[in-house]
Copies of this chain bind each other. A is one copy, B any other.
Amino acid sequence: MSKNEQLTDSMFYIMAALTRPRHGYGVMSQIEETSNGAVVIGPASMYTIIKKLLKNEWIYLYDDSDSRRKTYLLTEKGREVLDGDLQVRKLMIKLAEAGLKEAEE
C-alpha cells in the first residue's frame, strides 16, 4: 500500500491520455472527444498542468523533433501513480453507483 498521491480530475484526465505519446493540443482534443464534450480543458489549464507533471516526473518529453509539436509520455512512476489513482476512482464510483441504485425504490 503505497502512500497514494491523489490526482485532481484534470491531472487524471491528462495522464490517462498520456499512456500513449501525445502532444498537448492532441490531449485537449482527445479528452473533449472521449467525454463527448463534457470535459473541456483549455490551453491555460493544459500547459499549467503539463508543467507540473514534468516537475513531478510523472511524464517526460518524449519527442521534440517536430518544431511545432512536443509529445509527452508517462514515466514508469507516472504509470504507477495513475494506476493507484484509478483504483481509488473505481472504488468511489462503485460507492456512488450503489447509492444511486438503492435510492431507486
* Contacts from A to B (Cβ < 8 Å): 1, 4, 6, 8-9, 12-13, 15-17, 19-20, 31, 34-36, 38-39, 74, 79, 82-84, 86, 88-93, 95-100, 102-103
Going nearest first, the 4 A-B pairs with the smallest beta carbon separation are: A19-B99, A16-B96, A4-B38, A38-B88
- Chain A binding site: helix, strand, loop or mixed by DSSP? helix
Number of copies of this kind of chain in the complex: 2
Contact A95 B39 (CB under 8 A): no
Give the chain B neighbours of A35 by CB distance below 8 A. Answer: 88, 91-92
18 contacts across the A-B interface (CB closer than 8 A): A6-B9, A6-B38, A9-B9, A12-B92, A13-B92, A16-B95, A17-B95, A17-B99, A19-B99, A20-B102, A20-B103, A31-B92, A34-B91, A35-B92, A38-B88, A39-B92, A86-B100, A90-B93
